[in-house]
Copies of this chain bind each other. A is one copy, B any other.
Protein backbone atom coordinates (compact mmCIF):
# COMPACT_ATOMS: atom_id res chain seq x y z
CA UNK A 1 0.00 0.00 0.00
CA UNK A 2 1.56 3.32 -0.97
CA UNK A 3 1.76 6.35 1.32
CA UNK A 4 -1.14 8.12 -0.38
CA UNK A 5 -3.54 5.17 -0.02
CA UNK A 6 -2.46 4.60 3.56
CA UNK A 7 -3.06 8.24 4.43
CA UNK A 8 -6.37 8.22 2.62
CA UNK A 9 -7.51 5.21 4.68
CA UNK A 10 -6.29 6.93 7.82
CA UNK A 11 -8.28 10.07 7.08
CA UNK A 12 -11.41 8.12 6.13
CA UNK A 13 -11.22 6.03 9.24
CA UNK A 14 -11.07 9.09 11.51
CA UNK A 15 -13.67 10.94 9.46
CA UNK A 16 -16.13 8.09 10.04
CA UNK A 17 -15.34 8.08 13.74
CA UNK A 18 -16.14 11.77 13.98
CA UNK A 19 -19.32 11.51 11.94
CA UNK A 20 -20.55 8.65 14.08
CA UNK A 21 -19.78 10.68 17.17
CA UNK A 22 -21.58 13.91 16.26
CA UNK A 23 -24.63 11.96 15.12
CA UNK A 24 -24.68 10.23 18.46
CA UNK A 25 -24.47 13.54 20.33
CA UNK A 26 -27.11 15.29 18.25
CA UNK A 27 -29.56 12.42 18.02
CA UNK A 28 -29.71 12.20 21.80
CA UNK A 29 -30.38 15.91 22.11
CA UNK A 30 -33.99 16.72 22.92
CA UNK A 31 -34.47 19.97 20.97
CA UNK A 32 -36.99 21.40 18.45
CA UNK A 33 -36.92 19.18 15.37
CA UNK A 34 -36.48 21.98 12.83
CA UNK A 35 -33.45 23.25 14.73
CA UNK A 36 -31.94 19.78 14.90
CA UNK A 37 -32.54 19.23 11.18
CA UNK A 38 -30.87 22.51 10.33
CA UNK A 39 -27.85 21.78 12.55
CA UNK A 40 -27.53 18.27 11.13
CA UNK A 41 -27.96 19.41 7.53
CA UNK A 42 -24.83 21.53 7.62
CA UNK A 43 -22.85 19.03 9.66
CA UNK A 44 -23.76 16.37 7.08
CA UNK A 45 -23.05 18.56 4.07
CA UNK A 46 -19.89 16.66 3.38
CA UNK A 47 -16.93 18.47 4.79
CA UNK A 48 -13.55 16.81 4.67
CA UNK A 49 -13.34 16.92 8.49
CA UNK A 50 -9.77 18.14 8.16
CA UNK A 51 -9.79 20.02 11.45
CA UNK A 52 -10.99 17.18 13.67
CA UNK A 53 -8.75 14.69 11.81
CA UNK A 54 -5.80 16.96 12.55
CA UNK A 55 -6.83 17.09 16.19
CA UNK A 56 -6.90 13.30 16.41
CA UNK A 57 -3.58 12.99 14.55
CA UNK A 58 -1.99 15.50 16.89
CA UNK A 59 -3.26 13.59 19.92
CA UNK A 60 -1.95 10.33 18.49
CA UNK A 61 1.57 11.73 18.19
CA UNK A 62 1.72 11.80 22.02
CA UNK A 63 -1.21 9.95 23.60
CA UNK A 64 -2.84 6.55 23.27
CA UNK A 65 -6.59 6.64 24.14
CA UNK A 66 -8.23 8.46 21.24
CA UNK A 67 -11.62 8.51 23.05
CA UNK A 68 -10.29 11.32 25.22
CA UNK A 69 -10.29 13.82 22.37
CA UNK A 70 -13.46 12.88 20.50
CA UNK A 71 -15.61 15.53 22.23
CA UNK A 72 -13.03 18.22 21.39
CA UNK A 73 -12.88 17.02 17.77
CA UNK A 74 -16.66 17.14 17.41
CA UNK A 75 -16.86 20.52 19.15
CA UNK A 76 -14.29 21.85 16.71
CA UNK A 77 -16.25 20.57 13.70
CA UNK A 78 -19.40 22.18 15.14
CA UNK A 79 -17.66 25.53 15.53
CA UNK A 80 -16.26 25.28 12.00
CA UNK A 81 -19.72 24.40 10.67
CA UNK A 82 -21.40 27.28 12.50
CA UNK A 83 -18.87 29.68 10.96
CA UNK A 84 -19.68 28.39 7.46
CA UNK A 85 -23.45 28.75 8.01
CA UNK A 86 -23.06 32.37 9.14
CA UNK A 87 -20.46 33.09 6.43
CA UNK A 88 -22.86 31.96 3.70
CA UNK A 89 -25.72 34.24 4.84
CA UNK A 90 -26.97 36.91 2.42
CA UNK A 91 -25.58 39.64 4.66
CA UNK A 92 -22.14 38.01 4.56
CA UNK A 93 -20.87 36.14 1.47
CA UNK A 94 -24.38 35.48 0.13
CA UNK A 95 -23.62 31.99 -1.17
CA UNK A 96 -26.39 29.71 -2.43
CA UNK A 97 -24.15 26.67 -2.68
CA UNK A 98 -21.32 25.17 -0.67
CA UNK A 99 -19.56 21.98 -1.74
CA UNK A 100 -22.19 21.62 -4.47
CA UNK A 101 -25.10 21.60 -2.00
CA UNK A 102 -27.59 24.33 -1.16
CA UNK A 103 -26.49 26.42 1.79
CA UNK A 104 -28.38 26.22 5.08
CA UNK A 105 -30.45 29.38 4.67
CA UNK A 106 -31.53 28.30 1.17
CA UNK A 107 -32.86 24.97 2.48
CA UNK A 108 -34.36 26.28 5.71
CA UNK A 109 -34.58 30.06 6.02
CA UNK A 110 -32.30 32.82 7.18
CA UNK A 111 -33.64 32.98 10.72
CA UNK A 112 -33.26 29.23 11.20
CA UNK A 113 -29.76 29.33 9.71
CA UNK A 114 -28.69 32.09 12.10
CA UNK A 115 -30.10 30.15 15.06
CA UNK A 116 -28.64 26.81 13.92
CA UNK A 117 -25.22 28.48 13.78
CA UNK A 118 -25.74 29.97 17.23
CA UNK A 119 -26.84 26.58 18.54
CA UNK A 120 -23.82 24.71 17.12
CA UNK A 121 -21.43 27.27 18.59
CA UNK A 122 -23.10 27.25 22.00
CA UNK A 123 -23.50 23.51 22.22
CA UNK A 124 -19.84 22.85 21.41
CA UNK A 125 -18.86 24.18 24.84
CA UNK A 126 -21.35 21.91 26.64
CA UNK A 127 -19.90 18.91 24.80
CA UNK A 128 -16.48 19.49 26.29
CA UNK A 129 -17.73 20.58 29.72
CA UNK A 130 -19.74 17.36 30.07
CA UNK A 131 -17.20 14.84 28.75
CA UNK A 132 -16.68 12.26 31.53
CA UNK A 133 -13.26 11.28 30.14
CA UNK A 134 -11.66 14.68 30.75
CA UNK A 135 -10.71 16.11 34.12
CA UNK A 136 -11.70 19.64 35.13
CA UNK A 137 -8.27 21.11 34.42
CA UNK A 138 -8.35 19.70 30.89
CA UNK A 139 -11.90 20.90 30.27
CA UNK A 140 -11.14 24.45 31.37
CA UNK A 141 -8.01 24.56 29.27
CA UNK A 142 -9.73 23.24 26.14
CA UNK A 143 -12.78 25.50 26.55
CA UNK A 144 -10.60 28.54 27.12
CA UNK A 145 -8.64 27.79 23.94
CA UNK A 146 -11.73 27.07 21.88
CA UNK A 147 -13.33 30.29 23.02
CA UNK A 148 -10.25 32.40 22.35
CA UNK A 149 -9.38 30.77 18.99
CA UNK A 150 -12.92 31.05 17.63
CA UNK A 151 -13.87 34.41 19.18
CA UNK A 152 -13.10 38.09 18.57
CA UNK A 153 -9.36 37.59 19.07
CA UNK A 154 -9.42 34.64 16.69
CA UNK A 155 -11.70 33.46 13.90
CA UNK A 156 -14.44 36.10 14.28
CA UNK A 157 -11.79 38.83 14.36
CA UNK A 158 -10.39 37.39 11.12
CA UNK A 159 -13.83 37.41 9.51
CA UNK A 160 -14.24 41.11 10.28
CA UNK A 161 -10.77 41.92 8.89
CA UNK A 162 -11.46 39.79 5.81
CA UNK A 163 -14.68 41.69 5.19
CA UNK A 164 -12.92 45.02 5.59
CA UNK A 165 -10.18 43.89 3.18
CA UNK A 166 -12.61 43.02 0.42
CA UNK A 167 -12.28 45.25 -2.57
CA UNK A 168 -9.17 46.95 -1.32
CA UNK A 169 -5.55 46.06 -1.95
CA UNK A 170 -3.77 44.52 1.04
CA UNK A 171 -0.12 43.60 1.52
CA UNK A 172 1.19 40.07 1.96
CA UNK A 173 1.66 40.75 5.67
CA UNK A 174 -1.91 41.96 6.11
CA UNK A 175 -3.24 39.00 4.16
CA UNK A 176 -1.27 36.57 6.30
CA UNK A 177 -2.68 38.17 9.44
CA UNK A 178 -6.22 37.74 8.13
CA UNK A 179 -5.64 34.08 7.25
CA UNK A 180 -3.88 33.42 10.53
CA UNK A 181 -7.00 34.58 12.36
CA UNK A 182 -9.76 33.43 10.04
CA UNK A 183 -8.54 29.90 9.36
CA UNK A 184 -5.28 29.53 11.30
CA UNK A 185 -6.71 29.88 14.79
CA UNK A 186 -8.99 26.85 14.51
CA UNK A 187 -6.11 24.79 13.09
CA UNK A 188 -4.04 25.96 16.05
CA UNK A 189 -6.81 24.80 18.35
CA UNK A 190 -6.84 21.39 16.62
CA UNK A 191 -3.09 20.84 16.81
CA UNK A 192 -2.69 22.26 20.31
CA UNK A 193 -5.64 20.48 21.90
CA UNK A 194 -4.73 17.05 20.54
CA UNK A 195 -1.17 17.30 21.79
CA UNK A 196 -2.19 18.93 25.08
CA UNK A 197 -4.59 16.14 26.01
CA UNK A 198 -1.92 13.67 24.85
CA UNK A 199 0.37 15.26 27.46
CA UNK A 200 2.94 16.85 25.18
CA UNK A 201 5.42 19.06 27.05
CA UNK A 202 5.14 22.87 27.03
CA UNK A 203 8.16 23.03 24.73
CA UNK A 204 6.59 20.59 22.31
CA UNK A 205 3.34 22.54 22.42
CA UNK A 206 5.20 25.70 21.57
CA UNK A 207 6.77 24.10 18.46
CA UNK A 208 3.39 22.69 17.48
CA UNK A 209 1.90 26.18 17.62
CA UNK A 210 4.48 27.16 14.99
CA UNK A 211 3.58 24.07 12.99
CA UNK A 212 -0.11 25.00 13.07
CA UNK A 213 0.69 28.52 11.93
CA UNK A 214 2.51 27.32 8.82
CA UNK A 215 -0.04 24.62 8.14
CA UNK A 216 -2.73 27.32 8.06
CA UNK A 217 -0.73 29.30 5.52
CA UNK A 218 -0.12 26.19 3.37
CA UNK A 219 -3.83 25.58 3.45
CA UNK A 220 -4.56 29.10 2.26
CA UNK A 221 -1.91 29.29 -0.49
CA UNK A 222 -3.14 26.00 -1.89
CA UNK A 223 -6.71 27.30 -1.79
CA UNK A 224 -5.65 30.33 -3.81
CA UNK A 225 -3.63 28.18 -6.24
CA UNK A 226 -6.59 25.86 -6.79
CA UNK A 227 -8.75 28.87 -7.55
CA UNK A 228 -6.45 29.46 -10.54
CA UNK A 229 -5.55 25.91 -11.59
CA UNK A 230 -8.25 23.66 -10.09
CA UNK A 231 -11.11 21.78 -11.69
CA UNK A 232 -14.53 23.18 -10.93
CA UNK A 233 -16.20 19.88 -10.07
CA UNK A 234 -13.42 19.05 -7.61
CA UNK A 235 -13.21 22.35 -5.78
CA UNK A 236 -16.99 22.86 -5.78
CA UNK A 237 -16.95 26.49 -6.93
CA UNK A 238 -16.22 28.21 -10.23
CA UNK A 239 -12.50 28.32 -11.06
CA UNK A 240 -11.22 31.88 -11.05
CA UNK A 241 -13.93 33.17 -8.73
CA UNK A 242 -11.34 35.21 -6.81
CA UNK A 243 -10.18 36.90 -10.01
CA UNK A 244 -13.13 39.18 -10.64
CA UNK A 245 -12.95 40.99 -7.34
CA UNK A 246 -10.11 42.90 -5.72
CA UNK A 247 -9.58 40.21 -3.09
CA UNK A 248 -5.90 39.69 -2.43
CA UNK A 249 -4.59 36.19 -3.12
CA UNK A 250 -1.12 34.67 -3.18
CA UNK A 251 -1.07 34.23 -7.00
CA UNK A 252 -2.15 37.84 -7.47
CA UNK A 253 0.54 39.13 -5.13
CA UNK A 254 3.35 36.74 -6.09
CA UNK A 255 2.31 35.23 -9.43
CA UNK A 256 1.41 31.55 -9.72
CA UNK A 257 5.02 30.31 -9.58
CA UNK A 258 5.78 32.67 -6.74
CA UNK A 259 2.82 31.28 -4.83
CA UNK A 260 4.01 27.70 -5.38
CA UNK A 261 7.50 28.58 -4.18
CA UNK A 262 6.07 30.37 -1.15
CA UNK A 263 4.08 27.24 -0.31
CA UNK A 264 7.28 25.15 -0.42
CA UNK A 265 8.89 27.52 2.06
CA UNK A 266 5.93 27.09 4.41
CA UNK A 267 6.06 23.29 4.02
CA UNK A 268 9.73 23.29 5.01
CA UNK A 269 9.05 25.43 8.06
CA UNK A 270 6.07 23.31 9.09
CA UNK A 271 8.10 20.11 8.90
CA UNK A 272 10.97 21.64 10.82
CA UNK A 273 8.53 22.62 13.59
CA UNK A 274 7.20 19.06 13.69
CA UNK A 275 10.71 17.75 14.04
CA UNK A 276 11.41 20.20 16.88
CA UNK A 277 8.22 18.97 18.54
CA UNK A 278 9.42 15.36 18.35
CA UNK A 279 6.55 14.47 16.04
CA UNK A 280 8.61 13.68 12.95
CA UNK A 281 7.35 10.10 12.71
CA UNK A 282 3.70 10.99 13.23
CA UNK A 283 0.95 11.17 10.65
CA UNK A 284 1.12 14.96 10.93
CA UNK A 285 4.13 14.79 8.61
CA UNK A 286 2.20 13.07 5.82
CA UNK A 287 -0.86 15.24 6.46
CA UNK A 288 1.29 18.30 5.78
CA UNK A 289 2.10 16.99 2.29
CA UNK A 290 -1.52 16.03 1.85
CA UNK A 291 -2.63 19.59 2.59
CA UNK A 292 0.04 21.00 0.38
CA UNK A 293 -0.87 18.85 -2.63
CA UNK A 294 -4.63 18.47 -2.31
CA UNK A 295 -6.63 19.04 -5.48
CA UNK A 296 -9.87 20.18 -3.80
Contact = CB atoms under 8 A, between A and B. Distances in A.
A86 B110 CA distance: 11
Interface in A108-162: 109-112, 114-115, 117-119, 121-123, 125-126, 129-130, 136-137, 139-140, 143-144, 146-148, 150-153, 156-157, 159-161
Given A114-B92, A118-B86, A140 B136 contact: yes
Contacts of A143: 125, 129, 139-140, 143
Contact of A151 (B123, B161, B164): B123
Secondary structure at the A interface, as helix, strand, loop or mixed, is: helix
A1 interface: no
| Copies of this chain, count | 2
Contact of A164 (B34, B117, B125): B34
A24 to B, nearest CB: 16
Given A35-B156, A122-B156, 8 more contacts: A86-B114, A118-B156, A122-B147, A122-B150, A122-B152, A123-B151, A123-B152, A126-B144
